[in-house]
Every structure is written in C-alpha cells, then in structure tokens.
Amino acid sequence: MQVYATITVIGRDQSGVVARITSFLFVQKANIEGLEEKVTRGQFGMTIQASWAANQCGVSAIRTGLAELARTLDMEIKIRFLEPSRRQRFALLVTRETHCFEAIMAACRTGQLKADPVVVIGNHPDLEPLARKHKLPFVHVPWSNRVKAEHRALQLLEKQAIDFVVLARFMKILSPTFVWRYKNKIINIHPSLLPSFPGPSAYRQAYEHGVKIVGVTSHFVSMHLDEGPIIAQASFEVRSSMPLNEIIVAGQKLEARVLVKAIKLYLTKRLDVYWGTVKKI
C-alpha cells in the first residue's frame, strides 16, 4: 500500500529551495512523482506530488522536518496527505449567478457527483439564502482587498480540509499565490470557447462580433486569466435572429452542464496536466 501527499511551497524566490526540499524528501524515503515550480514577479511557487511505501512513511517526522525547512527558508510549506478511500471535499466560490451552483447541487443530490460540497464562499452575500437552502455554510468574504480576502478564503479552505475548489461563476481573479496552493485543483467555467473571448463579457463580445457558434469552456485555473488547461468544452449554433438575452440563457444552461461534466472528469482521477494540456490517463 502506498501513501500519497501533495506539498506546496510559497515564498520569496531564493536559490537552493528545490534542492533543500527534495533532499529532505529523499532522506524520508519519498518517491517524487511530480514536481512543478515557477517564479512570478519574484514569488516562488512549487508543487510536489510524493508517495511512500506505507511502512516507510513517518508522518510526524515529515511534518516536523518540513516545518523546520519552512522556518529556515522563511517560506510557507504545507503538506496534505491524501486518503484515496475518502470522498473528496470541495468548496464553491460564488458571486451572484445561481445557475452553476444549482446544477452542482442537483448533481450531488442525484449521485452524479460523488463528492461532498462543504462550504460556499461568496464575495457578495446574495447567494447565502440559496446555500442555506442546500444546508451548506455560507461565508461572505468581501473582495475589496484581494490580499486580505484570499488570506481569509485560504484559512477557510484549510480549516475545512478542502481537496478541490469549484468557481461557480465566481467573478474575481485569483492571485498566483492562491492558485499555487491548489495547483490543478481549482475548476472554473468560462462563457467562451477559450481563448477566443476572455474576461467577464464573453457573450456580448461574441454577439458583437457576429459569432455563429458560441461555446463554453471548463478549465483548471492557472496564473494567466482564462488560459488554464482545458477540461471540457461544448457549443451551440447562433441563429441570425437570436437576441443577446436568448444567447445568454442558452449559454448559462450549457455552462452548468459543462461545469458538472468537468467535475465528474476530475473525480475519475483520470486527468493529468502535461505541458499545459489536460489528458485522460
């Protein structure tokens, strides 16, 4: 039997970080199955997928050693041990639109999504009654100060032992440091066949350009706006007489279906991101 864990490292860029951490894991008899690191504007981020033989995994020693490295390097180092038999726990980030949230709740209720929604975080309080209707705690986190808002949101995710995050039409951009903490574990839905029309007004842009086929894209969130690895897409034809409001309604229905499909695919644990592209394995 194997023990699996994800390790995230965030902090000011400095030399020797990768070597220090991988050397420690080697001493702890870890097998490093994946490693990705990046520097953005002087900020270092790294995600490591590691595994151990069950009889060689000293959880206490690993946690203590990583905590000491965090202090020495003045960086945030966190480890999450994975439990393959446990149902995944996820958080929903929302703003004001309800269609994706409702579709996800329906899919959970009917057993289409074999995962547990745990908390709803909204940058506006509008969806609190809907969350309560579905017996989910709702936390209003104003986003006027992104640094403080993200810090609060991350505290909530860690407290609830969240495995992955779904942006159910959450209309705020997440910083690189937030994304790195949940690398390829934040699923978004965008109203466009990316990368055609990024940003929040994709339907209007498509309408104004006379687009004949409108689509939606579900993707993992990366540090570049609406450019993350694509999980699922779908589209519909636009009739010449179709007004904008009808396009929006049709698009929102499609968004909900494709987002649910993407979460299903994620939960199969058969997705891998290779050089920025999602592949089924």
d(CA 34, CA 48): 6
Over residues 115-143, the mean pLDDT reads 97
Determine the Cα–Cα distance for residues 218 and 190; give it in Å rounded to an integer: 6
H or E segment to which residue 161 belongs: none
Which residue type is seen at 3?
Answer: V
| DSSP conformational letter for 83 | -
13, 163, 226, 272: the catalytic one is 226
33-86, pLDDT tens digit by residue? 889 888 888 889 999 989 999 899 999 999 999 999 999 999 999 998 887 778
The whole-number pLDDT of residue 16 equals 93
The answer to whether the beta carbons of residues 70 and 17 sit under 8 Å apart is no
User: What mean pLDDT is predicted for residues 94-115?
Assistant: 96
The per-residue pLDDT for 281 is 45
Identify whether 226 is a catalytic site residue: yes
User: What domains, with CATH codes, occur in the chain?
Assistant: 2-82 (3.30.70.260), 88-280 (3.40.50.170)
Q: What is the pTM of this model?
A: 0.82
Q: What is the pLDDT of residue 177?
A: 84
Tens of pLDDT, residue by residue over 187-212, are 999 887 766 666 777 778 777 877 77
pLDDT tens digits for range 236-259: 888 888 899 998 999 999 999 999
The predicted structure's pLDDT at residue 280: 57
DSSP per-residue letters across 5-35: EEEEEEEE--TTHHHHHHHHHHHTT-EEEEE
Angle, in degrees to the nearest 10, between helices 244-267 and 99-109: 40
Omega of the bond leading into 195 within 30 degrees of 0 (cis): yes
State residue 123's pLDDT score. Answer: 98
